[in-house]
Chain A
Amino acid sequence: MAIIKFTLNHKQVIVNGDPNRRLLDVIRNDFNLKGLKEGCGEGECGACAVLINHQIVNSCLYVLANAEGKDIVTIEGFAETKRFAVIKSAFETAGAVQCGFCTPGMIIATESLLNANPHPSEAEIKIGLSGNLCRCTGYNMIVEAVQIAMKAGEGLW
């Protein structure tokens, strides 16, 4: 058992428990934040993605112990930002959402990419999204959404 402190969606939180638990379960069960999904449980699909210190991480492969002192943002926390509003509108315009199960992870991937590289090329966008599987869209409409967000959100990243 251990006491782990970290920032979750801009609030200090403390989790007292087994440090070997998956961050995915901690966020979904202890904090009832259901925006991140379990699609594969082995870091392949990216549906469980969160931002840890501004970078995309698959929460299914991340143990609670490693969260100590980290700044963690889920889709629910990110949804309160201006950057989200731009990405949301871009996803709507491009028709980038079908079943929606991968979508929160795709939004997190978009933010992580644009935060690191505000002007990615198409090839860089594809690399940035390649850790997130989508079975519905064939990806191009998501790539297009990132390009729309990049232009519309000029200066935000």
Chain B
Amino acid sequence: MEKDISVSVNKIDNFEKISGQARYVNDIEIPGALYAKTFRSPIVSGEIVSIKIPTLPQGYYIVDYRDVPGKNAVKIIKDDMPIFAEKTLRYYGEPILLIIGPDKTIIQSLINQIIIDTTLTEPIYDERNIGVNYHYEKGNPQASFAEANRIIEYTYKTGYQEQAYIEPQGLIGYPEGDRITLIGSMQCPYYIKNAVILALGCRPEQVRIIQPAVGGAFGGKEEFPSLLGCQLAVAVKKIQKPIRLIYEREEDIEVTTKRHPSIIRMKAAVDKNNNITAIASDIRLDGGAYLGLSNVVLSRSMIASTGAYTIPSVDCSGIVYLTNTVPTGAFRGFGAPQIFYAVEMFVNHIAKDLGIDPLEFKLKHLAKQGDLTSTSGTFRDPILMNELVKRALVISDYRQKCEKYQIGDTLRGMGISLFFHGCGFTGSGEATIIKAQVKLHKDEHDFVDILIAAVDMGQGVRTTISKIVANTLDIPLEKVRFPYPDTDNITDSGPTVASRTIMIVGGLVDKAAQKMRKEWQSGKSATVIENYVQPDYIVWDEATFHGDAYPAYSWGVNIVDVSVDKITNQVTIEEAWSVYDLGKAIDNLIIKGQAEGGITQGFAYGYLENMEVKNGKVRQRNLTDYIIPTALDVCKLTTELIDNPYAGGPYGAKGAGELTLIGGAPAVAMAIENAISRRVHNIPVTPESIMELIEYGNY
């Protein structure tokens, strides 16, 4: 009988992590390494007039923009963020220079003695400074609105969310002849490598990136480590000594990227039969001081502007506005959590305005196989949402609970969210930007090494990709090794982002393993390299947002039962149920971990995690003020999968990592709305906001 790949195995890094032997960047000792600390902008907006540095003791150094041999810009997309500020300061905490030396206390005292003179300019926190501006249409929205029986319009707002990986950001760098090596906490070794090449103006072979164990990332270690990597590489190049640049928690929360706050205005045309004929949306994301990855985040938001539904006509506008605040960036979901929150609440609110059952209203509009997507692409593969919803309703006893909670003043409520996640890079990104390549090497003892850039940041890819290789080669898992990525030994399989790792990289690894199996000669070494080839049916026009935005979609349903305390307005999540279609699980237990961890972050985004930026400064700067869930905040979670194998993924697998976060916030916000009988428009729904809603809100 053929083995079912979904059956769980003992993860290959379990022992090293449980026993404390796993080495994260801060655990790596390099003899003679100096410490680096960043001197940062004390103002939110203005210009540097002068900087007076105290006399540096022997063995202490300063590194700033003048030391950058190449371009003083962090290679992300538009390269708009400097490695070190030169004259203009755009946010509080913007890096200006590094002080480097052997003693951390002396470094701090030197930083405290720096005198900076600045001129202040008026900071911008509103939407007037537009960084990027997109628009697309489908069908004929003008006609739909003109012919509408009713037009319904609401605005939704979402707040910041901090990734709060438990391991703070950090890298260590050291010189090796005319080369520079960086070891650190990251998701994308080649993003850092390419950024450093630009910063140093050097040859690719002069930069080596090594990834040790990574203590969580959630998108927070997608682009930000490129900034750290460039600063550190410049410092190592100048000083020619090993240097540690590792953040403490407050610095990490204060200056690293977070989820974009959003303002989303939605307008729907509804016909006489209570069908939505058009949705017009206006999505505004706060990008902070630099664009970074924000335009791609915006794309992902805009592409999902009709949620899990097929709407004949669409008019979608989006901007990223730039403000004098900490830059926002990648965070699990990447623009999708904001838009799915807005769409799910909106469709629910339309149904309530029409006086019809919100769930029935949603089911009526669900996307089906063969339908056109919001961007006029095609949902090619079977969509099992009706089955997913049906199953979720059964296991949660949804209908009965809804009825029960309506009677009397229970302050209990049920919420349900329907959502998808586009797997992989948007549009043709895989073929035009990433061009992933994977390498497998078999030695003469028939051990197979997986030599790719995929980073295991906890999501288990070292185990899942090893399983794919072992299964395809039909060899024991113990014969497969997945060393930590080192750019000297691997090929560029692309960044560990966008729910692409299993579907795209795992798919390539599977193909490479199939080739290796055909040519397998025991006792002989062999190398197989496999390059990504885009399926030719994927056609995407980036300028007009027209065509297939993603090769495949994973789907999900979340149902949640909440109670609200009558006196304190505290929300308790009583129980939650999820059903997902992510193609096929490569490991059931790993998927359970993704599902439970993802939904916990998604719920917390909806009601618990609150970050405010006042006058350009982050007010919650540590884990005491920025509250993430503890063991006491989680309830019983039930997760089920419905297999729907995708022909383009290894063993049928699609993306999983981001999907599980996306439905959490709308489900919990809707449940709170139903519990307190007041419309919810903004998240997080904190006890303070519940108090205000109960006082002033309507239903």
Interface residues of A (CB under 8 A from B): 32-42, 44-45, 47, 74-76, 79, 84, 87-88, 91-92, 95, 97-104, 107, 125-127, 129-143
Contacts and interface: CB of A to CB of B under 8 A. Distances in A.
A100 B24 CA distance: 10
A98 B195 CA distance: 28
Contacts, number: 169
A106 to B, nearest CB: 9
Interface in B518-565: none
A45 B23 contact: no
Interface in B1-45: 8, 10-11, 13-24, 26-27, 29
Contacts of A100: 13, 16-18, 22, 213, 215, 458
A137 B597 contact: yes
Contact of A42 (B214, B217, B249): B249
Contact of A37 (B167, B590, B598, B622): B167
A84 B217 CA distance: 28
B19 A35 contact: yes
B165 A130 contact: no
Given A99-B167, A136-B593, A136-B597, A130 B631 contact: yes
Nearest to A122: B636
Interface string B620-638: 0011100011111010110
B596 A140 contact: yes
B19 A74 contact: no
Given A98-B459, A127-B632, 20 more contacts: A42-B623, A74-B20, A75-B19, A76-B19, A92-B11, A100-B458, A101-B213, A101-B215, A102-B166, A103-B18, A126-B631, A133-B630, A134-B631, A135-B165, A136-B216, A136-B593, A137-B596, A137-B597, A138-B600, A138-B637
B630 A95 contact: no
Contacts of B589: 95
A153 to B, nearest CB: 15
Contact of A35 (B20, B215, B248): B20
4 closest Cβ pairs, A-B complex? A35-B20, A100-B17, A101-B215, A99-B458
Contacts of B460: 98
Given A95-B593, A100-B458, A135-B216, A34 B601 contact: no
Contacts of A103: 17-18, 20
A34 B165 contact: no
Centre residue among A36, A39, A99, A130 by max chain B CB count within 10 A = A99
Contact of B29 (A32, A44, A98, A131): A32
A95 B13 CA distance: 12
A112 B453 CA distance: 38
Contacts of B631: 125-127, 129-130, 132, 134, 139, 142-143
Contact of A34 (B20, B622, B624): B20
B562 to A, nearest CB: 16
Contacts of B622: 40, 42, 44
Nearest to A76: B20
Contacts of A97: 11, 13-14, 17-18
9 contacts: A44-B622, A45-B166, A79-B20, A98-B460, A98-B597, A100-B213, A129-B631, A130-B630, A135-B165
B216 to A, nearest CB: 4
Contact of B18 (A92, A136, A141): A92
B599 interface: yes
Interface in B629-677: 629-632, 634, 636-637
B367 interface: no
B340 interface: no
B592 interface: yes
A47 B20 contact: no
B607 interface: no
A100 B217 CA distance: 12
Interface of B: 8, 10-11, 13-24, 26-27, 29, 163-168, 213-218, 248-249, 457-460, 589-590, 592-593, 596-601, 622-624, 628-632, 634, 636-637
Nearest to A39: B166
Contacts of A37: 24, 26-27, 166-167, 215
A56 B213 CA distance: 25
Centre residue among A130, A131, A138 by max chain B CB count within 10 A = A138
B592 A135 contact: no
B602 to A, nearest CB: 10
Nearest to B10: A92
A135 B22 contact: no
Contacts of A130: 630-632
Contacts of A35: 19-21
Given A97-B17, A99-B216, A41 B166 contact: no
Contacts of A129: 630-631
Contacts of B163: 135
Nearest to B602: A138
Given A40-B249, A98-B460, A133-B166, A140 B634 contact: yes
Given A92-B11, A92-B18, A137-B593, A101 B24 contact: yes
Given A39-B168, A101-B167, A133-B628, A75 B20 contact: yes
A88 B18 contact: yes
Contacts of A127: 631-632
A43 to B, nearest CB: 8
Contacts of B590: 95
Nearest to A75: B20
A21 to B, nearest CB: 11
Given A98-B459, A138-B600, A41 B29 contact: no
Contacts of B637: 138, 140
A141 B593 contact: yes
Centre residue among A100, A129, A137, A141 by max chain B CB count within 10 A = A100
B20 A135 contact: no
Contacts of B600: 137-139
Centre residue among B23, B168, B598 by max chain A CB count within 10 A = B168
Contacts of B27: 34, 37
Centre residue among A37, A91, A92, A136 by max chain B CB count within 10 A = A136
Contacts of B632: 126-127, 130
Contacts of B457: 99
A135 B249 contact: no
Nearest to B460: A98
B307 to A, nearest CB: 24
Contacts of A134: 166, 631
Contact of A99 (B21, B23, B215): B215
Nearest to A108: B20
A68 to B, nearest CB: 24
Centre residue among B459, B634, B637 by max chain A CB count within 10 A = B634
A92 B14 contact: yes
A99 B592 contact: no
Contacts of B11: 92, 95, 97
Contacts of B216: 98-99, 101, 135-136
A77 B22 CA distance: 15
Nearest to A143: B631
Nearest to A29: B29
Centre residue among A75, A97, A142 by max chain B CB count within 10 A = A97
Nearest to B8: A95
Nearest to A38: B26
A135 B628 contact: yes
